[in-house]
Amino acid sequence: MTVTERFVALVEGPEDTLPLDEAALLLAAHAEPKLDVAAQLARLDGLAERVTRPTAPAVTGLLFGEIGLRGNSEEYGDPRNSFLDQVLDRGLGIPISLAVVTMEVGRRVGVVFDGVGMPGHFLVRSEGVLMDPFRGGRVLDIAEAEALFRALHGPEAPFSPSLLAATGRRAILARMLANLRGSYAERGDAAALVWVARLLVAIPGTPRAAKVDLARLLVNLGNFTEAGDVLEQLAATAGGEEQQRLRSRAAALRARLN
C-alpha cells in the first residue's frame, strides 16, 4: 500500500478512530519518500514516556519547556513547519502542527487536548483551558483569544465563542493541507501542489472546488487523463448544464492525448 493509499484509507474510515498522528506523518511522507512513519510514531511514544505526570501542564512543560518547541514566526511559510518529523527535528512549527504534537503526546498519557480551529491561529483546549502552542503553550482566556483573533483579522472582525469550538480530525488534516497548499503556491512548486490537492480531495466533505483546483493543476502539468477523470467524478454528482459542461471538458482533455 502506498502512502497515498494509506492516507485515503485512514480518512475514509471512522473519524473517531482516525489516527491523527499517523495521518499527519503521511503528509510528510509525500514530501520525504524515505520517511519511516513507524519510527516517527515511536518517537512520539518516546516523548510521552518523558511526561512526568498525566496532566496538561506536564505535557506542555515537556514540549515547550524542556524540549523547547516554538512557533516559527521568522519563516512561517516554510513547508517543513507542517511536517511533524521536521517540527521535532528543528524544534519549529506553526500553530496547527505544534497543536497536533501536543494532542498526540497528550493522548498517549491520557490527557485529552482538543484541537480548536480558530480562523487564522490554531489552538488547543484541555479540561476547558485554552492554550496556544505557537506561544509555548501559553494559557488564554476568552478575552485573550478574541484579542488574538482581532489582531489577525482586524479590530472590526466579528468574533464569537463558537469560533473556539473543537475541530474534528478530518478538518485538522484539511487545514494542514491548506497550509501546505499556500506554502507550495508561494514557492511555485507545481508537483507538490498536485499531491497536496490529491490528498485534500480524498477527505470526505471537502468542497467541490478542491476537485476543480486539482483538475486545473493536473492540466498545468500535462496530466490530461487524470484531469479528465477528476472532471468526470465531478460530473457524476452534478446536474443539468454543469454536468454536460464538465463532461465536455473531460472529453476535450482526453482528446489532447490523441
Q: How far is CA 159 from CA 118, 144, 163, in A?
A: 10, 12, 7
Residues near 129 by beta carbon (within 8 Å), at least 6 away in sequence: 56, 139
Tell me if 183 is assigned to some domain: no
**Contact (Cβ atoms closer than 8 angstroms) between residue 102 and residue 84:** no
Contact 144, 123 (CB under 8 A): no
Render pLDDT for 97-147 as a digit per residue (tens, 0 to 9): 999 999 999 999 999 999 999 999 999 999 999 999 999 999 999 999 999
For residues 135 and 249, membership in a common domain is answered with no
Q: Do 76 and 20 share a structural domain? A: yes
* C-alpha torsion 16→52→60→64, nearest 10: -130
pLDDT in tens, 183-218: 999 999 999 999 999 999 999 988 888 888 898 898
Residues 118 and 241 reside in one and the same domain: no
Given a cut of 70, is residue 249 above it in pLDDT? yes
Instruction: Kindly state whether residues 39 and 91 are assigned to the same domain.
Output: yes
Q: Which of 133, 164, 195 is where one domain is finished?
A: 164
Q: How many domains does the chain have?
A: 2
Asked if residue 84 is part of any domain, the answer here is yes
Distances from the Cα of 238 to the Cαs of 112, 151, 225, in angstroms?
41, 40, 20
pLDDT band at 258 (very low <50, low <70, confident <90, very high): low
The full DSSP string for 194-230 is: HHHHHHHHHSTT--HHHHHHHHHHHHHTT-HHHHHHH
158 and 218 in a single domain? The answer is no
Residue 99 lies in a domain: yes
Note whether 32 and 145 are same-domain residues.
yes
Overall pTM > 0.85: yes
Q: Is the pLDDT of residue 240 over 80?
A: no
Q: Is residue 90 in a domain?
A: yes
The pLDDT mean for the chain works out to 93
Q: Which of 112, 129, 164 is the last residue of a domain?
A: 164
In a domain, 197, yes or no: no
pLDDT in tens, 111-121: 999 999 999 99
* DSSP string computed for 18-38: --HHHHHHHHHHHH-TT--HH
* Shared-domain flag, residues 146 and 215: no
Q: Based on the fold, state whether residues 158 and 32 are members of the same structural domain.
A: yes
Instruction: Round to the nearest angstrom and report the end-to-end CA distance of the chain.
Output: 32
Do 145 and 225 lie in one domain? The reply is: no
Domain around 226: 207-255
Decide if 226 is inside a domain.
yes
How far apart (Å, rounded) are the C-alpha atoms in residues 40 and 166?
Answer: 26
